[in-house]
Amino acid sequence: MPIPDQLSSINPETYAPYRDPRDYILSWTDEIWIDMGLGRLGEHYGKDIKVHTAYGETYDFDHVLMNSVQKMSAFPNGGGGSGEDVLWEERGPNGFISSHRVFKTGTHTGYWTYGPPTGKDWVSRTIAHCTVQDGKVVEEWLVRDEYAVLQSLGLDPNKVAWDLALASPVTGEVVDVATSAAFAGTYENPTLEGISGKRPDRFAAECEMIKAMYEDVWNSRLFNMVGDYCSDKVVSHSVRMRRAQGIQGYQQQVIDLLAAFPDGRIELRDLVVNESSDLGLRVAAVWTLHATYSGVPIYGHPTRSPVSIMGITHFEIRDGKILREWRLYDEIAVLTQIMRARQLSGEEF
């Protein structure tokens, strides 16, 4: 159960009739996806819900329902996945922020954005970072590991990204990521207030540690400082279901990403901290990597074009250091931006 003082600061009506915010999120996911109650989405989401993705924005409930129907048709046994964790934190007396990490599996038996059914199984992770006010989700930042899905289905990520660059899967239009609301605004000190609003006055030391880690290890390239922030036994789960263990493995994972985007800088945009007796202390961080694709050619030849990567990371903190990490971003959204730059320069697929 959650630590009592963290739960007592929220009006119980915000998550009623469930036990706590975690139960609220997990129960609604099952009722909508496992029980096939898509029509109940209106009881869970606000009418004017804002959904932020790397492919564009939607600002009403109808888009959520339409996209969900299509996904349920393509992956009828995919359900809502298995909830790995829900990190929640107060956002005013009648609200909370929920960062919900899901391990998803399914079989591609219907038509989807990527084309006709392949009949193949897939696995991936998703993190939905949601603001709940007065019992309903009113804003959501959504990150999926779509590269892992395509890998499982045997589809060409480059071809999918080329097609998505011509029409967003969210809006059906060409998206200029630079002007997308998902990347808009800057937050000077997300340890106090970020995209989800003002944080409660607790867990300041943990938030400052995560903020310092991004500044030192990522932005200052002080890879030698990984051990200052991570346990010797650190395990990092990343995109394409990759896993790195130990300080050296963690260092290499960060270096390999920045090698493709050598001028990249992490902008921290939100922090959520949750402590419970069963799962310990965890921190959710929403971040953006602003960069130029000008380094090693992991996505084909460098275009030297700007790229914005929307990411969410969950950290498990033990004895003041990061013991486990789940770092998620949509590589297909990254590749889509690169493909758009190629299209604008006159290249053909």
278-333: per-residue pLDDT in tens? Answer: 899 999 999 999 999 999 999 999 999 999 999 999 999 999 999 999 999 999 99
Are 246 and 232 contacting, i.e. CB atoms less than 8 angstroms apart? yes
> What is the SS3 assignment for 49?
strand
**CB contact set of 31 (below 8 Å; sequence gap of 6+):** 37, 40
User: What does the alpha-carbon distance between residue 140 and residue 215 come to, in Å, rounded to a whole number?
Assistant: 26
Residue type at position 88: W
Displacement of CA 58 from its chain's centroid (Å): 16
Q: What is the pLDDT of residues 270-291, one digit of tens each?
A: 999 999 988 999 999 999 999 9
In the DSSP assignment, the letter for residue 11 is -
Q: What is the pLDDT of residues 163-191, one digit of tens each?
A: 999 876 666 666 666 556 566 667 889 99
Residues 51-58, mean pLDDT to the nearest whole number = 81
Q: Which residues pair with 139 in a beta bridge?
A: 50, 131
* Ramachandran category for residue 36: left, alpha or beta (phi over 0 → left; psi -120 to 50 → alpha): left
Q: Which residues pair with 322 in a beta bridge?
A: 230, 317
Domains defined along the chain, listed by start: 4-153 (3.10.450.50), 181-195+203-344 (3.10.450.50)
Residues 258-272, mean pLDDT to the nearest whole number = 97
Q: What is the pTM of this model?
A: 0.94
User: What does the alpha-carbon distance between residue 167 and residue 173 come to, in Å, rounded to a whole number?
Assistant: 5
Tokens of 195: 């995209």
